[in-house]
Amino acid sequence: MSIVTSRRALGDRAEDLESVELLALTPCESLPPAVRERLRILDGQSNALIRVVMRPLVETMTDRQANRVRDDIYLALHEGPVKELIAG
């Protein structure tokens, strides 16, 4: 996972990306059974908690725009059968 991957996922909004930070990386084996089942995570995979900071200089982002940005980055970084999108 990298800021480069996140910038590519954002396309025209890439200039608004200030930072991407990995806050936690939890191996599958350390997740509660209910979470493993919900995510259908496989042995050897990990669940990542990532902070993305956007700072658009031209305009204020709406909730809808922010959710789309989140989903675009999520899809670029996500590996697994279950996708949890916000914007739809």
Flag whether 87 is in a domain. Answer: no
Q: What total of structural domains would you count in the chain?
A: 1
Q: Is the pLDDT of residue 26 over 80?
A: yes
Average pLDDT over residues 61-68: 91
Tell me the residue range of the domain where 22 lies: 3-77
What would the pLDDT profile of 30-41 be if each residue is shown by its tens digit?
A: 999 999 999 999
Domain containing 54 — which CATH number? 3.30.70.380
Give the pLDDT band of residue 7 (cuts 50, 70, 90).
Answer: confident
% of the chain at pLDDT higher than 70: 95
Mean pLDDT over the full length of the chain: 88
Flag whether 83 is in a domain. Answer: no
67-73: long-range contacts, CB 8 A cutoff, minimum separation 24 = 69/10, 69/13, 69/16, 72/9, 72/10, 72/11, 73/6, 73/9, 73/10, 73/20
Average pLDDT over residues 18-23: 90
